[in-house]
Amino acid sequence: MGQEQSGPEKEVTLQHIQELYRKFASECPSGNLHLHEFRRIFGINRNSTEEESTYMERVFISFDTNKDGKIDFMEYVAAVHLVLRGKLEDKLRWSFKVYDRDGNGCLDRQEVKHIVKIIHSIKKHHDPSVTGDVEAICDRIFELVDKNNDSQISLEEFIDGAEKDSWVMEQLKLDIGACEWFIDQKEKNP
């Protein structure tokens, strides 16, 4: 989910963030952001695939740290901080947690294939010219990242592989344009 650091042209200032917090408070007077609103924010709608919708639900759940089915203001603050200002390693750790569907601390081929398929589908939805064979991408990721050849990618292998290889990073990131969305919202609602 946007693991790369934002460039200077995409920088979200503290003022942007403060204004977005005020917007959150005014649009969510209950202090809660619900899954349907979260999906809408990131462009996941009725036309999206079931996999895209499920992926965004996993992202939502990862930000819902108290597991009450909604993102409250403090969870929102933590999410905004991670997405917009977090260190690359923290973003990769968070991504790994989202990708590790069974929670066993390793990514197997099915999990990697599943996430590559979802990311590819979402990217293709936003840019129809995106191409690639999911199976081949998965094979190459394992070839580059699975250093001990155990057919599983540990958190350490994941972070190391993504940090050292830009192709791997590109395949494993879902650039949902969070910085652009936050700036857009600020400009639409001054």
SS3 content of the chain, % helix, strand, coil (to 5): 65, 5, 30
Contact 142, 112 (CB under 8 A): yes
Q: Residues 134-176: pLDDT tens digits?
A: 899 999 999 999 999 999 999 999 999 999 998 888 887 755 4
CB 3 within 8 Å of CB 174: no
> What Rg do the C-alpha atoms of the chain give, in angstroms?
17
Instruction: Establish if 2 belongs to a structural domain.
Output: no
- In a domain, residue 6? The reply is no
Which among 1-10, 50-59, 71-80, 146-155 has the top mean pLDDT?
146-155
SS3 category, 74: helix
Q: What is the CATH number of the domain that holds 23?
A: 1.10.238.10
**Domain for residue 53, yes or no?**
yes
Domain annotation covers residue 65? yes
Q: In this structure, what token pair is assigned to residue 103?
A: 């929670």
In a domain, 113, yes or no: yes
Q: Does a structural domain hold residue 79?
A: yes
Domain that holds residue 156: 13-188
pLDDT tens for each residue of 76-133 = 878 877 877 778 888 899 889 889 988 899 999 999 998 888 888 777 777 788 788 8
Q: Give the whole-angstrom CA distance, residue 3 versus residue 123.
A: 15
| Domain tally, the chain | 1
Residue 100 falls inside a structural domain: yes
